[in-house]
Amino acid sequence: GENVEQHPSTLSVQEGDSAVIKCTYSDSASNYFPWYKQELGKGPQLIIDIRSNVGEKKDQRIAVTLNKTAKHFSLHITETQPEDSAVYFCAASRTNFGNEKLTFGTGTRLTIIP
Exactly one of 11, 20, 29, 102 binds another protein (CB under 8 A); that residue is 102
CB 31 within 8 A of CB 52: yes
Q: Residue 62 CB, nearest distance to another protein (Å)?
A: 15
The answer to whether 50 contacts another protein (rule: CB under 8 A) is: no
> Per CB under 8 A, does 53 bind another protein?
no
Position 26 contacts another protein (CB under 8 A): no
| Amino acid at position 32, single letter | Y
- Tell me the residue type at 26: S
Please report the beta strands in 1-114, taking only residues with DSSP state E, as ranges in sequence order. 4-7, 10-14, 19-25, 32-38, 45-51, 56-59, 62-67, 72-77, 86-92, 103-104, 108-113
In the shown chain, the binding pattern of residues 80 to 99 toward another protein, with x for contact by CB under 8 A and - for none, equals ---------x---xxx---x
Strands 86-92 and 56-59: unpaired
Note whether 101 binds another protein by CB under 8 A: yes
Question: Is residue 106 within the footprint of another protein (CB under 8 A)?
Answer: yes
In this structure, the chain runs to a length of 114
Residue 83 has phi, psi (to 5 degrees) of -75, -5
- Per CB under 8 A, 103 contacts another protein: yes
Query: In this complex, which beta carbon is closest to another protein, that of residue 43 or of residue 114?
Result: 43
Q: Which residues are near another protein by CB under 8 A?
A: 4, 9, 32, 34, 36, 41-46, 49, 51, 89, 93-95, 99-107
